[in-house]
Structure 1
């Protein structure tokens, strides 16, 4: 959950508490009853929040994303190769240097998708979007994607929208991993070829 989403959720909870508290007092004319009703609502919100946190942690654990966070860039590229192979794509990993901004080339029917893999600990900026857009032209691609274990800056999202570049952030990567293997308990269950060299 992003900081913006967390702020929106907090504002929604505050508004709900004020609404329920106001309505309760207006209806019952009793401070004690209002305090009990608001207290019960707060307890339910806390329980719901704890359940949501447990579910998020379980989803992350099942996806193995914490192991991806420790991979080097080459290992991440080869992991993505295996991931996209399970989705029916023919996949080629480009050479490590002189790749013109593309790390993977995916082929499926008439599509040729040029992919840049960004295993980052910070948000991915516009440079990745610029590079993959150029690589799409160089490789005569039909689509351009940037896949990361992190998130994208606002500027990267805006530029990607203008250039028609598809962005796969951390949440979408987790969803793809779980789609590949919904019963996953560890990324080690997924075949990953070691980078050569």
Structure 2
């Protein structure tokens, strides 16, 4: 009987931890969905990736976050309607240059994606824009990101 009580207590403890983890995940998801561009400007790179993840999920994408290192230039892989989109997320205080475009162009090939996007809270350099055009990489600057956020808020 004593063994049963100890085991039952352990199981209930595991359930309580799982419930708390789920509640924390839901609170974090809500915080990210409620964030605007000012909050984005204060996020870490990893938080920005999670921010994009929850927003794309909100738009019915299946999303895979890549590992933190050796990601081959991709931060997120989006799936929708049989299309695979490779995303490089750049939360930056400075304009984004050609390196991000080079990375996502290579990642599209590596992950056998249909297209690549670089998303930033800033703007892109002229050279990044030229390279993106010649590699058919889509660029989402601050203006496009704000539109995306506002559309997401209107679709709740």
Where does residue 48 of structure 1 map in the other structure?
none
In the alignment, is residue 104 of structure 1 matched against residue 95 of structure 2? no
Report the structure number with the largest CA radius of gyration.
1
CA distance in 2: counterparts of 1:168 and 1:63, whole angstroms: 18
In the alignment, is residue 147 of structure 1 matched against residue 119 of structure 2? yes
CA distance in 1: counterparts of 2:134 and 2:107, whole angstroms: 16
Runs of 5+ unmatched residues, structure 2: 1-33
Match runs of 1:23-102 below 5 Å: 64-102=36-74
CA distance in 2: counterparts of 1:94 and 1:152, whole angstroms: 23
Change (3 A) 1:63 1:178: farther
CA distance in 2: counterparts of 1:77 and 1:158, whole angstroms: 25
Where does residue 96 of structure 2 map in the other structure?
124
CA distance in 2: counterparts of 1:106 and 1:77, whole angstroms: 12
In the alignment, is residue 158 of structure 1 matched against residue 155 of structure 2? no
Equivalent pairs, count: 123
Where does residue 54 of structure 1 map in the other structure?
none
Q: CA RMSD in A?
A: 1.6
Q: SS of 1:99's equivalent?
A: coil
